[in-house]
Structure 1
Amino acid sequence: MKNVTTTLCVSALTLAFATEAMATEWNVSLWGKRRAFTEHIHKLAELVEEKTDGEFTMNISYGGLSKNTENLDGISIFAFEMAQFCAGYHPDKNRAITVLELPFMGVNTLEEELAVSNAVYAHPAVAEEMEQWNAKLLMTTPMPQYNLVGTGDPRDTLESFDGMRVRATGGIGRAFEAVGAVPTSMTASEVYQAMEAGVIDTASFAQHAHLSFGTINEADWWTANLNPGTVNCPVVVSIDAYDMLSDDERAALDSSVPEAIDHYLANYGELLDRWDSVLEEKGVEKVTISDEELARFKEVGGDPIQQAWIDENEAQGIPAQELYDLVLSTLEETRGSN
Structure 2
Amino acid sequence: MKRFNKVKLVMFITIILLIMAACSSNESSGNNDTGEGNSNGNSSNGETYTITMAHVASEAIGLHQAFLKFKEEVEEQSEGRLKVEVYPNAQLGGEREILEGVQNGDITATITSTGVGANFVPEVAVFDIPYLFTSKEHARHVFRTDGPLFEKIAPYYEEKGFKLMSFTDQGFRILSTNGVQVTSVEDVKGLRIRTLENSNHIEAWRALGANPTPIPFNEVYTSLQQGTVDAQENPYELTVLMKFHEAQEHVTNIKSIFQSLQAVINKDFYDSLPEDLRALVDEGFASAVEFGTNFLDEKDEEYIQVLKDTGLTVNEITDDELEKFREKTSPVIETIRGQVGDELVDLMISEAESY
In the alignment, residue 108 of structure 1 is paired with which amino acid? S
2:229 matches 1:227: no
Aligned to 2:109: 82
Q: 1:161–1:332: structure 2 CA closer, same or farther, 3 Å change rule? A: closer
Aligned to 1:159: 186
Q: 1:158–1:329: structure 2 CA closer, same or farther, 3 Å change rule? A: closer
TM superposition shift of 1:129: 2.8
TM superposition shift of 1:196: 2.1
In the alignment, residue 194 of structure 1 is paired with which amino acid? S
Deviates further, 34-43 or 201-210? 34-43
The one of 31, 37, 49 aligned to 2:56: 31
Give yes or no for contact 2:149–2:348 (8 Å, CA) kept in 1. Answer: no
Write out per-residue CA displacement over residues 136-174 of structure 1, whole angstroms, 9 at most, x where no aligned residue: 111222232221112233233333322322122344432
TM superposition shift of 1:212: 2.2
Alpha-carbon distance between aligned partners in 1 of 2:231 and 2:116, rounded to the nearest angstrom = 19
Give yes or no for contact 1:150–1:202 (8 Å, CA) kept in 2. Answer: yes
Give yes or no for contact 1:146–1:230 (8 Å, CA) kept in 2. Answer: yes
Deviates further, 99-108 or 127-136? 127-136
In the alignment, residue 103 of structure 2 is paired with which amino acid? S
Q: 1:81–1:121: structure 2 CA closer, same or farther, 3 Å change rule? A: farther
Aligned to 1:72: 99
The one of 228, 239, 243 aligned to 2:271: 243
What does 1:1-338 correspond to in 2, within 5 Å?
21=34, 22-34=47-59, 35-62=61-88, 63-89=90-116, 91-109=118-136, 111-118=137-144, 119=147, 122-124=150-152, 126-169=153-196, 170=198, 171-224=200-253, 226-301=254-329, 303-310=330-337, 312-313=338-339, 318=340, 320-333=341-354, 335=355
Structure 2 residue runs of 5 or longer lacking an equivalent are 1-25, 35-46
Give yes or no for contact 1:177–1:183 (8 Å, CA) kept in 2. Answer: yes
Give yes or no for contact 2:182–2:188 (8 Å, CA) kept in 1. Answer: yes
Write out per-residue CA displacement over residues 298-338 of structure 1, whole angstroms, 9 at most, x where no aligned residue: 1111x22112311x12xxxx4x33222322343355x4xxx
Q: 1:274–1:27: structure 2 CA closer, same or farther, 3 Å change rule? A: same
Alpha-carbon distance between aligned partners in 2 of 1:180 and 1:172, rounded to the nearest angstrom = 13
Structure 1 residue runs of 5 or longer lacking an equivalent are 1-13
TM superposition shift of 1:90: 5.8
Q: 1:332–1:153: structure 2 CA closer, same or farther, 3 Å change rule? A: closer
Alpha-carbon distance between aligned partners in 1 of 2:101 and 2:217, rounded to the nearest angstrom = 19
Aligned to 2:44: none
**Cα RMSD over matched residues?**
2.4
Q: 1:70–1:107: structure 2 CA closer, same or farther, 3 Å change rule? A: farther
Alpha-carbon distance between aligned partners in 1 of 2:353 and 2:187, rounded to the nearest angstrom = 34
Give yes or no for contact 1:175–1:305 (8 Å, CA) kept in 2. Answer: yes
Give yes or no for contact 1:89–1:185 (8 Å, CA) kept in 2. Answer: no
Give yes or no for contact 1:167–1:191 (8 Å, CA) kept in 2. Answer: yes
Aligned-pair identity in percent equals: 21
Q: 1:143–1:321: structure 2 CA closer, same or farther, 3 Å change rule? A: farther
In the alignment, residue 98 of structure 1 is paired with which amino acid? A
Q: 1:217–1:298: structure 2 CA closer, same or farther, 3 Å change rule? A: same
Normalised by the length of structure 1, the TM-score is 0.82
Write out per-residue CA displacement over residues 200-226 of structure 1, whole angstroms, 9 at most, x where no aligned residue: 2111111111122221222211003x1
Normalised by the length of structure 2, the TM-score is 0.78
**SS at structure 1 position matched to 2:238:** helix
